[in-house]
């Protein structure tokens, strides 16, 4: 494949980027700016919030969602590899082997760090043993 074969892809990308920039700029420029307390209040199922929430949304849910997205993208790459399996040969097998090995290593690291551990006490105990606080080392 030559560089000219990638020209339609680059052109599509640039058109999409340009359209997005124009749309965002126009919406920012044309939008009315009159904030009211009602507009600034968080919307939750149509109920007016009477007080601040008792606790914030735990970050661990965000971490699990990010890990899901990462490993979901892995499945997309593996599907694309499986479609072209016969044409890729041994180089394709080696590349996918390295890719899967890195993902397994990443999963092991995340698991070892306690990102998938919902028991907070056990996770904190692990962090004190494996990764002591910097302030403790200086003392």
Q: How many domains does the chain have?
A: 1
Tell me: the pLDDT tens digits for 79-100?
A: 888 888 888 888 888 999 999 9
DSSP secondary structure code for residue 47 in this structure: B
Tell me: the pLDDT tens digits for 5-25?
A: 899 999 999 999 999 999 999
For position 74, what pLDDT does the model report?
A: 87
Residue 82 domain-assigned (yes or no): yes
Residue 7 domain-assigned (yes or no): no
For position 128, what pLDDT does the model report?
A: 61
CATH code (residue 90): 1.20.58.1610
Task: State the Cα–Cα distance between residues 49 and 47, nearest whole angstrom.
Answer: 6
Count of alpha carbons within 13 angstroms of residue 139, beta-carbon side: 5
């Amino acid at each position: 494949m030559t560089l000219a074969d990638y020209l339609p892809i680059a052109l599509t990308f640039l058109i999409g980027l340009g359209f997005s920039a124009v749309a965002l700029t126009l919406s920012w420029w044309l939008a009315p700016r009159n904030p009211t307390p009602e507009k600034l209040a968080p919307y939750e199922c149509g109920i007016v919030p009477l007080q601040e929430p008792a606790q914030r949304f735990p970050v661990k849910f965000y971490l699990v969602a990010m890990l899901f997205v990462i490993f979901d993208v892995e499945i997309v790459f593996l599907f694309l590899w499986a479609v072209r399996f016969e044409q890729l040969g041994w180089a394709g097998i080696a590349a996918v082997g390295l890719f899967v090995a890195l993902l397994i290593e990443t999963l092991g690291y995340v698991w070892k760090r306690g990102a998938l551990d919902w028991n907070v006490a056990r996770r904190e105990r692990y962090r004190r043993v494996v990764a002591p606080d910097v302030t403790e080392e200086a003392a």
